[in-house]
Amino acid sequence: MPSVLLGLALLAFWLYCLFDVITTPEEDVRNLPKLLWVLIVVLLADLGGLLWLLLGRPQSEQAVQRQRIARPGRPRPSVPRGPDDDPDFLRDLDRRLRREDD
């Protein structure tokens, strides 16, 4: 019974990766052409699926942003970290508090 469940899980993983390769736009695929990724996933099954997830699948927007921020030499934009660091917010808050007191 456990071998059947393992086999079904591996089949589901392989099908997920194959579907993911096929539906990913060509320009978003990393490292190799899309057709070659399809062949790798089909021929190497689970190892090909694992390679696709690690090396070929497009990176998420968060990962791309983290890489951009981590690059040395690029200045970080000065953005307020919280409402109490934002001078516009503090000015507006002060105005509202003065109106309530009057």
Compute CA distances 101 → 33, 95, 96, 98, whole Å: 67, 10, 9, 5
Q: What is the pLDDT of residues 8-22, one digit of tens each?
A: 999 999 999 999 999
Question: Rounded to whole angstroms, how far apart are CA atoms 49 and 16?
Answer: 8
pTM over the 0.75 mark: no
Question: Rounded to whole angstroms, how far apart are CA atoms 70 and 81?
Answer: 18
Q: What is the pLDDT of residues 70-87, one digit of tens each?
A: 566 656 666 657 777 788
